[in-house]
A and B are shown apart, each in its own frame.
Chain A
Amino acid sequence: MFLFASGADPFEVYGLIWTGAFASWFSLQNTLLRAAPLLLVALCTALPARLGLVIIGGEGAIVLGGLAAAAIGVLLVDAPYVPAMLLMAAAAMVAGAALIALAGWLRHARGVNETISSLLLTYIAVAVFNHLVEGPLRDPASLNKPSTASIGDQHMIGAIPGTDVHWGLAIGVVVCLAMAVLMRKTTFGFATRMVGGNVRAARMAGLPIGRLVIATCAMAGAAGGLAGMIEVAAIHGKANASLNTGYGFTGILVAFLARHEPSAVIPVAILFGGINAAGGLLQRRMDLPDATVLVLQGILFVVLLASETLRGRSMFGGKA
């Protein structure tokens, strides 16, 4: 209906989304590229949700993680590949983890609502990011688009052989699966589910709720930070404003649609990667403005969320 009103043939648009997202090898790769950060940042919301916490600070974790990775990467330009990569990832994860763990700690220790505090922390993180990228860490050579100095081509995450898709996607999938196992098969996962189900019962059972909350939030933040590092190390090569483009908010919705199930995050993230990827094609072929994708995404989310009401169980078989 919306597309009709804008003078485009809806069927052609949906056809194009399909073509742009999944139909050819090229577009499939493009889809997967865009799904990679979503996989990790969705975990940033999905893991704390197991404890009954609604964290919406994924954007902040991405931005800080990317910044930390770029800063370390610049220092280590001459270091050998593997340690440099590991240090960059570690820095990004620590930065992201610190941010979200702070929200978790505030929740536990001070009773500050974690949804609002993670949102505030995101804005603070973005301000710190802008300050550092415009100021102390700015590469003087970057004139109209301020960014940090480049981490150098030798330290980029390479593509998976035979494709243009970088290894970040694989890392994302592995982390999602690992989290799914952690949440389902281990005592830690059981304890988090118990806290999420009934805090009072969990306290009776003597579970260290505070430690669980903070640990889960730290893991969530680490995943978000890692997403930022991968974006920096696999795509941009430096930290700039492209890190702050709303992946975090899309990630929240991916997490909700996956019913906070880490393994279900994988297909949902790929679906939304596809819609993002189709945006470019849509613009070129149909002469629609770039915001079309945003509108379609919004409608799709609204419809999918509303359809939750029709289901007793989740879309992907996880427990509601």
Chain B
Amino acid sequence: MADDLGLWAVPVAMLGGAIRVSTPYIFVSLGECLTERSGRINLGLEGTLVLGAMGAYGISYLSGSPWLGVLVAMAAGAFLGGLHALLCGLPKVNDIAVGIALMLFGTGIAFFLGKPFVQPKAPNLPAIPLGWWIDQPELRAALEINPLFVVGILLSLALTWFLGRTRWGLILRAAGDSAEAVRAMGYSAQTMRFVATTAGGAMAGIGGAFLSLFYPGSWNEGLSSGQGLMAIALVIFARWQPIRCIWASLLFGAAGALGPSLQSVGVTWGYYLFGAAPYVLTLGIMIATCSPTRSLRGAPAELGVTR
């Protein structure tokens, strides 16, 4: 019985997939959420994710400590985020174009420096087995949770508190809604955006570290396949609320796991079409919730893409 779940294998695999696949989405979307709340959009997070993955893997391999790798991924992400913020701080520079340029730059550097690390095996992050009370191996495997997943959830709570309850959170939100109001308060919207974009980049870097150090757990050039870009769509879907980013990420993870889990029970038709499930889902939800007459609820007013 234990190894024959039949059709139940699909939802189980989707649950496992949701938990396993969603972590990078969580980190990138939380980072992007923070950045967008300050009134800027960073499309370069795809590059940040890839560079974070490569940096974490390389350092973990060289030093033997995966957690050091996570730190390095954070630093690399903060560097790219800071660069984006500095460039966009210049007048007349378009943040979407800079984002795409940094996406190319980040992936380029990662591929360039990452060449020697494609083969060797680096120590991975440990998992916490939460399913010890269940006999079925499939369920137990699905409930193996990485500490970073937990960190992500705590981070979203912390961000909610920060944005809603603290003085700096208020200033940051004000920077996203009206740069002039921030100036009137005696702060610089520019500085707030710099801090927010740098911190957002650091979070995306951690997401990358998860990719290379836990799941799938190795470094190669096709590792990210657009997850960084998807996370940006996810922020809109989550209405710029950190807590909703978690739910949205889980939903995405589950939708993304649909194809592979159907394949595991023998449905091989349309494998690639099911791969598009998260994108179709997001598009559908955006169509259903958007309206031409009002801008999105919760959208920062200074953000170019919502106008």
Measuring CB to CB, which residues of chain A are less than 8 angstroms from any residue of chain B?
6, 54, 56, 106, 108-113, 115-117, 119-121, 123-124, 126-128, 130-131, 134-135, 249-250, 252-253, 256, 289-299, 301-302, 305-306, 308-309, 311, 320
Sorted nearest first, the 3 A-B pairs with minimum C-beta distance are A298-B105, A294-B108, A127-B276
A131, A292, A297: most-surrounded residue (chain B CB, <10 A): A131
A56 and B282 form a contact (CB under 8 A): no
A127 and B272 form a contact (CB under 8 A): yes
A305 and B287 form a contact (CB under 8 A): no
CB of B292 to closest CB in A, whole Å: 4
Whether A298 touches B106, Cβ cut-off 8 Å, given contacts A111-B290, A306-B93, is yes
Chain B interface, >50% SS class? helix
B107 within 8 Å of A (CB atoms): yes
Contact of B87 among A116, A134, A294, A305 (CB under 8 A): A305
Number of residues from B at the complex interface, CB < 8 A: 53
Whole-angstrom CA separation of A109 from B291 in the bound complex: 8
B185 within 8 Å of A (CB atoms): no
B297 within 8 Å of A (CB atoms): no
A308 and B107 form a contact (CB under 8 A): no
A308 and B108 form a contact (CB under 8 A): no
B274 nearest in chain A by CB position = A127
B270 and A131 form a contact (CB under 8 A): yes
A106 nearest in chain B by CB position = B287
Can you give 20 contacting A-B residue pairs, CB < 8 Å? A54-B304, A108-B292, A112-B283, A112-B290, A113-B236, A113-B306, A119-B233, A120-B286, A124-B279, A127-B272, A249-B104, A252-B100, A253-B97, A291-B109, A292-B108, A297-B105, A297-B108, A298-B47, A298-B104, A302-B87
Whether A120 touches B279, Cβ cut-off 8 Å, given contacts A112-B290, A289-B111, A309-B93, is yes
Whole-angstrom CA separation of A106 from B273 in the bound complex: 22
| B224-283 at interface with A (beta carbon < 8 Å) | 226, 229-230, 232-233, 236, 269-273, 275-276, 279-280, 282-283
Whole-angstrom CA separation of A121 from B93 in the bound complex: 26
Whole-angstrom CA separation of A298 from B106 in the bound complex: 8
B115 and A291 form a contact (CB under 8 A): yes
Interface residues as binary, B56-89 with A (CB distance below 8 Å gives 1, 0 otherwise): 0000000000000000000000000001000100
Whole-angstrom CA separation of A83 from B105 in the bound complex: 43
Which residues from chain B contact A56 at a C-beta distance below 8 Å?
A: 96, 100
Whole-angstrom CA separation of A36 from B37 in the bound complex: 40
A302 and B101 form a contact (CB under 8 A): yes
Instruction: Other than A54-B305, A113-B286, A297-B108, give 5 A-B pairs with Cβ distance below 8 A.
Output: A110-B290, A135-B269, A253-B104, A298-B47, A301-B104
B305 and A113 form a contact (CB under 8 A): yes
B96 and A54 form a contact (CB under 8 A): yes
Whether A306 touches B104, Cβ cut-off 8 Å, given contacts A113-B236, A252-B97, is no
Whole-angstrom CA separation of A302 from B105 in the bound complex: 9
CB of B47 to closest CB in A, whole Å: 8
Whether A120 touches B282, Cβ cut-off 8 Å, given contacts A110-B292, A131-B273, is yes
Contact of A115 among B272, B279, B305 (CB under 8 A): B305
A111 and B291 form a contact (CB under 8 A): yes
A54 nearest in chain B by CB position = B96
B94 within 8 Å of A (CB atoms): yes
Whole-angstrom CA separation of A309 from B293 in the bound complex: 34
B292 and A123 form a contact (CB under 8 A): no
